[in-house]
Amino acid sequence: MFKKSDLEFAVYAADPERRQRAISSYRLTRDVLFCCAALISIIDLAEMIYGHSAAAGLGMGCVIQWILVSKFDADVRLLTVVDQLSANKTE
């Protein structure tokens, strides 16, 4: 199911130039998703406090956003570690 994205990630991890671009791109995506997830969380909390019925739908969207934030954060961390290891290997 995830073979295509795994292969794409392996290509980014193997090439130093692509890895740097991927790190910056994933960081930007993670930061944007984090802001969206935080905003949705605040709106969802307000919906729950004031008792509106849209809270369940927003809650599911909020959970999905936080999962995506953690996925991109893990990718950034892994690519950063690979970058540091390859820098240490060449020294």
Give the C-alpha separation, 7 to 22, whole Å.
14
Say which residue, 49 or 71, is predicted with more confidence.
71
pLDDT for position 70: 94
Sequence ranges of the domains in the chain: 26-80
C-alpha distances in angstroms, 50 versus 32, 61, 69?
27, 19, 27
pLDDT for 34 beyond 90: yes
pLDDT digits (tens, 9 = 90+) for 5-29: 778 878 877 888 888 898 999 999 9
Give the model confidence (pLDDT) of 60-88 as tens digits. 888 999 999 999 999 999 999 988 888 77
